[in-house]
């Protein structure tokens, strides 16, 4: 989809479809009012028939509006208040995007962003609207034998802004949305890729290809023998049952000045999680191909940063493994030594994410990070606690936790902090090693983070548990691209 911004007035747009907002109780936005005047009150007459009442997210497509230069009008509900609530604006954008995706028009002009949104500027409004529109164009059909043409009819979308003063901010918002969408698309593509194709070596190849595309991105891949030398006994124990060799992928983006300490992102890259010897039940096991969505989000975030040329230093570390049962696989009861020299008794081979992350987190120290954020589909317990809408956030640093929380709010890619208090640590006690890799049923998301916290004491660190948000199940099964919007918002904020 070709998407652009321009200055203009709604009533002057010659377009197959004009998009304008209305509020509840038949109140009109500025652009809707202009159309109403143009049609000598015709729009109000139509609205009064009551097919749309302005609730956020309602839409109505009106064909053939008399006297108007646009052939159709898409009305979009914005909610009850003239200062639109942030969540209502998002609903309106998503609904408009959906209506345009199914409407059949090849081009459209939208003035949705002419309204006031509580405490938001035009950059945010255009970015949010563009993100919704771009998201609807995603399709994953690489493995459909009959080449399906794009189902999305819309080829060209113009986002109108009322005045010249707002244009440069609007352009910036659009550029951010496009770059972030490019990152989200990569994240979704990697997540959706079948696990017989997307194995650790495939992820390493993808990283090397990305490195070839951008001067400022350097990629390095460690083999199992390298990891052995570094003492990564925990990471290596996870892939022992797999025919696929583990890889430790590092992508280094240097957009900032030399002395600037990097942000390090660590993404869980379990390309398939059977549970290992602690085998998972069969139902929905296919969805464990998404167990590398943390890694995929690190790919997507790096790509978006490269596209925008952000003035930051950013390192992505991806421990990539496949967790399989086998005669050579790790057993419950095995004890391994981590790169940090701490020992772990593996009581459940299905708690493998933390076993690869702990060594990657120790490895992260070598980059002298300003902060480290790991992203992982780590615990089913996180879905119990927060559902499918919200990532779990745990951190050893309040300012980092607050910054990530705020980034979630601004981007709509929300997270919520859970405590990392000492009381929980003793659930990890082991009779035979420094710690066990599971902490029992209560507070499973917290005890998983407690495990990681033992490897992150030398820097400011946060953990995002994306088990609930990284993909959708059912007939909409597929990767969501989260938490790329959250991470990008955090990184953009650091550039301010």
Q: Does 267 bind ligand BES (CB under 6 A)?
A: no
- H-helix or E-strand spanning residue 435: strand 435-436
481 binds, among ligand BES, Zn ion, Mn ion, none (CB under 5 to 8 A by kind): none
Which of the following is catalytic: 280, 417, 460, 494?
A: 280
Q: Does 449 bind ligand BES (CB under 6 A)?
A: no
Nearer to Zn ion, 200 or 353 (CB): 353
Q: Does 381 bind ligand BES (CB under 6 A)?
A: yes
Q: Which stretch in 346-354, 368-376, 425-433, 465-473 sits in contact with Mn ion by CB under 5 A?
A: 346-354
Q: Does 353 bind ligand BES (CB under 6 A)?
A: yes
Which residue sits closest to Zn ion, CB atoms considered? 273
Of 438, 462, 488, 491, the one binding ligand BES by CB under 6 A: 438
Q: Which stretch in 217-225, 301-309, 351-359, 405-413 sits in contact with Mn ion by CB under 5 A?
A: 351-359
- Between the CA atoms of 17, 23, 25 and 28, what dihedral angle is there, to the nearest 10 degrees? -60
Q: Is the CB of residue 37 less than 8 Å from the CB of residue 44?
A: no
Q: How far, in Å, CA of 320 to CA of 66, rounded?
A: 60
Q: Which residues contact 257 (CB under 8 A, 6 or more apart)?
A: 311
Structure tokens at 294: 């943390």
- Size of residue set near ligand BES by CB under 6 A: 15
Complete DSSP assignment for 44-87: HHHHHT-S----TT-EEEEE--TT-SSSEEEEEE--S-SEE-HH
- Sign of the alpha-carbon torsion through 432, 438, 441, 442: positive
Q: Does 221 bind ligand BES (CB under 6 A)?
A: no
Q: Does 201 bind ligand BES (CB under 6 A)?
A: no
324 binds, among ligand BES, Mn ion, Zn ion, none (CB under 5 to 8 A by kind): none
Q: Put residue 60 in one of left, alpha, beta given phi > 0 → left and psi -120 to 50 → alpha.
A: beta
- H-helix or E-strand spanning residue 371: strand 371-376
- Rg over CA atoms, the chain: 24
- H-helix or E-strand spanning residue 295: helix 293-308
**25: DSSP letter:** T
Of 350, 374, 413, 465, the one binding Mn ion by CB under 5 A: 350
Has 354 been annotated as catalytic? yes
Question: Locate tokens 């379990």: which residue?
Answer: 270
Q: Does 469 bind ligand BES (CB under 6 A)?
A: no
Q: Does 377 bind ligand BES (CB under 6 A)?
A: yes
Shortest Cβ 441–ligand BES spacing (Å):
8
Q: Does 489 bind ligand BES (CB under 6 A)?
A: no
Which of the following is catalytic: 90, 91, 166, 354?
A: 354
492 binds, among Zn ion, Mn ion, ligand BES, none (CB under 5 to 8 A by kind): none
Which residue sits closest to Mn ion, CB atoms considered? 350
Q: Which residues bind Zn ion (CB under 5 A)?
A: 270, 273, 291, 353
Beta sheet of 343-345, edge-to-edge order = 335-337, 343-345, 435-436
Has 72 been annotated as catalytic? no
Instruction: Identify the CA nearest to 66 among candidates 36, 86, 95.
Output: 36
Question: Locate tokens 């529109």: which residue?
Answer: 133
5 binds, among ligand BES, Zn ion, Mn ion, none (CB under 5 to 8 A by kind): none
380 binds, among ligand BES, Zn ion, Mn ion, none (CB under 5 to 8 A by kind): ligand BES
Q: Which residues bind Mn ion (CB under 5 A)?
A: 273, 350, 352
List residues near ligand BES by CB under 6 A: 273, 291, 348, 350-353, 377-381, 438, 444, 467
């Amino acid at each position: 989809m070709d998407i652009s911004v321009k200055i203009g007035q709604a009533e002057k747009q010659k377009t197959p479809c004009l998009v304008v907002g209305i509020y509840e109780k038949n109140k009109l936005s500025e652009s809707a009012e202009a159309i109403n005047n143009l049609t000598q009150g015709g729009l109000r007459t139509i609205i009064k028939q009551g097919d749309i009442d302005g609730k956020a997210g309602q839409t109505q497509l009106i064909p053939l509006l008399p006297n108007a230069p646009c052939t159709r009008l898409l009305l979009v509900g914005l909610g009850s208040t003239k200062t639109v609530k942030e969540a209502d604006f998002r609903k309106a954008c998503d609904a408009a995007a959906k209506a345009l995706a199914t409407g059949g028009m090849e081009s459209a002009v939208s003035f949705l962003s002419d309204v006031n949104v509580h405490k938001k500027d035009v950059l945010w409004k255009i970015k949010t609207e563009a993100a919704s529109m771009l998201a609807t164009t995603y399709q994953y059909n690489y493995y459909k034998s009959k080449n399906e043409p794009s189902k999305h009819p819309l080829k060209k979308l113009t986002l109108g802004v009322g005045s010249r003063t707002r244009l440069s901010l609007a352009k910036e918002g659009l550029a951010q949305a496009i770059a972030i969408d490019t990152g989200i698309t990569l994240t979704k593509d990697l997540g959706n890729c079948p696990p017989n194709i997307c194995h650790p070596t495939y992820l390493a190849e993808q990283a090397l290809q990305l490195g070839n595309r951008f001067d400022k991105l350097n990629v390095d891949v460690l083999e199992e023998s390298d990891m052995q030398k570094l003492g990564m006994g925990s990471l290596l124990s996870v892939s022992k049952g797999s025919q696929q060799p583990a890889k430790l992928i590092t992508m280094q983006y240097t957009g900032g000045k030399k002395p600037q300490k990097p942000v390090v992102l660590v993404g869980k890259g379990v390309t398939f999680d059977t549970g290992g010897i602690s085998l998972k039940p069969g139902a929905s096991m296919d969805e464990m191909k998404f167990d590398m969505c943390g890694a995929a989000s690190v790919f997507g975030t790096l790509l978006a940063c490269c596209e925008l040329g952000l003035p930051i230093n950013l390192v992505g570390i991806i421990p990539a493994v496949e967790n399989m049962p086998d005669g050579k696989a790790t057993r419950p009861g095995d004890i391994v030594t981590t790169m940090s020299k701490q020992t772990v008794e593996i009581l459940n081979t299905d708690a493998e994410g933390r076993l690869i992350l702990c060594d990657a987190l120790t490895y992260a120290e070598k980059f002298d990070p300003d902060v480290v954020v790991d992203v992982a589909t780590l615990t089913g317990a996180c879905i119990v606690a927060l559902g499918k809408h919200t990532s779990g956030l745990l951190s050893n640093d309040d300012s980092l936790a607050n910054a990530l929380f705020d980034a979630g709010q601004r981007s709509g890619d929300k997270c919520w902090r859970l405590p990392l208090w000492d009381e929980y640590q003793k659930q990890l006690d082991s009779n035979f090693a420094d710690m066990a890799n599971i902490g029992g049923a209560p507070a499973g998301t917290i005890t998983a983070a407690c495990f990681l916290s033992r490897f992150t004491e030398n820097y400011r660190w946060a953990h995002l548990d994306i088990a609930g948000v990284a993909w959708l199940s059912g007939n909409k099964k597929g990767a969501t691209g989260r938490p790329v919007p959250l991470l990008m918002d955090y990184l953009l904020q650091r550039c301010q």
